[in-house]
Structure 1
C-alpha cells in the first residue's frame, strides 16, 4: 500500500482522540519544539485594520515537497467566520452559481432559509442541504471531464477576490481569483488524495479557508509513495499551497465535530435584533457538526477574470429581511 493511502486509512479507522495525541500531527496553533525547527515566519496577515496581526508560517523545512506551503493560523476572527459561512450557505449556493444539486436537476431557491425553518435545532439535517457537497463560483469546474470551460462561469464575489489576493500577497505570491470551489463536509467525511492540476496555469497558489468543524489535512509529494504531512486545521485557519506544494497530492483524511468557539458575550454583542441573533445561532449550530472549505484559485495565465465590474455580489453580510 502506498504511503499516502496508508495514512488516509489510519485516520479513518482509528479513534480520533488517540490520533490527536500523535506526535506526528502538526497542530499549527500549538507546534511542538521539534516542529518549530521546520517552520519559519515568512510574513504577516491582517484581514482588517481592527483585527490582530497574525503570522504567516512557511513549511519549507518539512521537505522539498512542502516548499511554498504556508499556513495562517486563526486568520479570521469568529465573527468574520460566521459572515463567510452564512454567505456560503445563502448567496454562494444560489444561481447563477453552480452546485452538485443543480447538476442533479434539483431546482431550489433559499435552501438555507428552508433548512432553518424545517430543522431549527440543526439545519444540517434538512434533507436537501444534507445532499449539498459543493458549489462553484467564477469559472465552473467540470467534475466529470476534469476541466474548465471559458463560457461557463458566474461572478466571483468581491469578498472572495479580496481574500484570495490578500492571502497570496501575505505569502509573497500573486493570484487573480478566477475560480472558487466551496466544499461542504459532513461529520466523519473525507476527500481522497488528489492533485489540483486542471487549471491552465500552475504558477499561482491555491488558497484554502477552513470554517466550522476541525479536520485532518494531508499534503504529500508528487506521487502517493511519499508520506504526507498531517496537519490539524481549525475554523479560521488558511492554507496557501504555492511553489512546489501546488503540484502535490493533498486531501482531507477526517472531519470531526467541533463546537463553534464564539462565546455568548460576543454573540450577543453583534446581534442587532432577535431575528439576527437567531440567524447567527443557526449558522453556529450548522458549523458545530459540519465543515465548509473555500478554495480560491487562478485558472488562466494572466489576469483573465470573471469578476470585473459586472459582478453584483458584495462582501459577506448576514442579511435579515
Structure 2
C-alpha cells in the first residue's frame, strides 16, 4: 500500500489528484472530519532571536490516526525563514560539516561552497545533503563517535526551545541531516532507526517549495496518510510514528512565500544580521534558490 501511494503521487503522467492530501491551511474542515486534533500552548514567551513567533500563536495539530505525529504550522517569522535558509545554504555547507559533493574537484578542502555556487549553478544544483554534529554514515546507516563535530549552537537552541514548548523536555539535539530538494527530487519510503535512542522524537523542518509527505506504519503494507509540508512547517515524529515508514514522492510549486518580509517580527542583535536579512539585494540569491528548491532539516538525538 505504501509503495502504491508513493508511485501514485510521484506520477507525472497522469498527474495525481491532491484532494486527499491533508492541508493544514484548511484545518477547520479537517477538524470537522476528525482527521486532526488541535493542541494549544499557553505561553506568551517570545523567542524572536530564533526567528520564532510567540508559542501562544503557534497552530499545533495531532494527526489522529498516527499517534505521536505532531504538526506545527509555520511558527517562524518572515525574517526567521530567511535566517534559517541562510544558515542551511551559507553556514551549514562549510567544513567540518560533510556534503554529498565533497568529492567534487571543484570543492576543495576548506573552500566556501556558497561562494563557489554563486559562480557555478551546476555545483549549486548538485547539493543534496549536508550532515551536522554526529555525521550519519550512509553506507552503514550508523553513527560513529569518531565522526562527530560540534553541533551548531543556534540550531540546538532553536530545536530544544521548540521541544520544550511541546513537552519534550529531555530532548538533546545532537545530529542533523539537511536535505536539499529540487523540483524533480523524491525521497523513497524508509524508517529512521540509526539512532541509539529511538524513544527521542525526530524534528523535521521545511523551507521553500511545498512537499507532499507520506507517513505510514511499521510495515510497507499499511496505507499511508499524505499531507502538505509548506515553508516553515514542522513535523515531529514521536511514539508510534517515530519508526513509521515515511517518504516524499513529489515537490510542488508553492503559491505562498512566507519568507517575504512583513511586519510580523523584530530582530534585535548586535551583529547587524537583521540588516543583511532584510536587504533585498543581499537576500536575492537565497530567495532565488527557494523559488525552485526545498530545504528540509531533520534533527535527531543520537545517544
Q: TM-score range by the shorter chain?
A: 0.7 to 0.9
* TM-score between the two structures when normalised by the length of structure 2: 0.85
Structure 2 partner of 1:317: none
Task: Find the counterpart in structure 2 of residue 129 from structure 1.
Answer: 124
Aligned in 2, Cα 1:27/1:158: closer, same or farther, shift over 3 Å? same
Cα distance in 2 for partners of 1:78, 1:274 equals 10
For residues 201-256 of structure 1, what are the alpha-carbon distances to aligned partners after superposition, in whole Å with 9 as ceiling and x for unaligned?
A: 10100000000000001100000101111010100000000111001001111112
Question: 2:271 maps to which residue?
Answer: none
1:215 corresponds to which residue?
211
CA contact (8 A) 2:99 2:127 kept: yes
Give the direction of change, closer, same or farther, for the CA distance of 1:188–1:70 in structure 2 (3 Å limit). same
The residue number in structure 2 matching 1:308 is none
Aligned: 1:25 with 2:21: yes
Does 2:90 align with 1:93? no
Report the equivalent of 1:110: 112
Matched, 1:175 2:178: no
> In structure 1, how many angstroms separate the alpha carbons of the residues matched to 2:239 and 2:276?
46
Say which SS state the counterpart of residue 128 (structure 1) adopts.
Answer: helix
Shift of residue 170, structure 1, vs aligned partner: 2.8
CA contact (8 A) 1:167 1:207 kept: no
Could you say if the C-alpha distance between residues 143 and 104 of structure 1 is closer, same or farther in structure 2, counting changes exceeding 3 Å?
Answer: farther
Partner Cα distance (1:265, 1:165) in 2: 26
Q: Give the C-alpha shift of residue 258 in structure 1.
A: 2.6
In the alignment, is the contact (CA less than 8 A) between 2:46 and 2:53 conserved in 1? yes
Q: How many residues align?
A: 284
Correspondence list, 1:127-206, <5 A: 127-173=122-168, 174-206=170-202
Q: How does 1:47-58 map to 2 (within 5 A)?
A: 48=47, 51-52=53-54, 53-58=57-62
| Residue 104 of structure 1, CA deviation | 5.4
Deviation at 1:274, TM superposition (A): 11
- TM-score scaled to structure 1, two decimals? 0.81
Partner secondary structure for residue 85 of structure 2: helix
Q: Is the 8 A contact 1:161 1:177 kept in 2?
A: yes
Aligned partner of residue 149 in structure 1, secondary structure: strand
Q: For 2:7, which of 6, 9, 12 is the aligned residue?
A: 9
In 2 relative to 1, CA 264–222 (structure 1 residues): closer, same or farther, beyond 3 Å?
closer
> Where does the alignment leave 5 or more consecutive residues of structure 1 unmatched?
120-125, 301-321
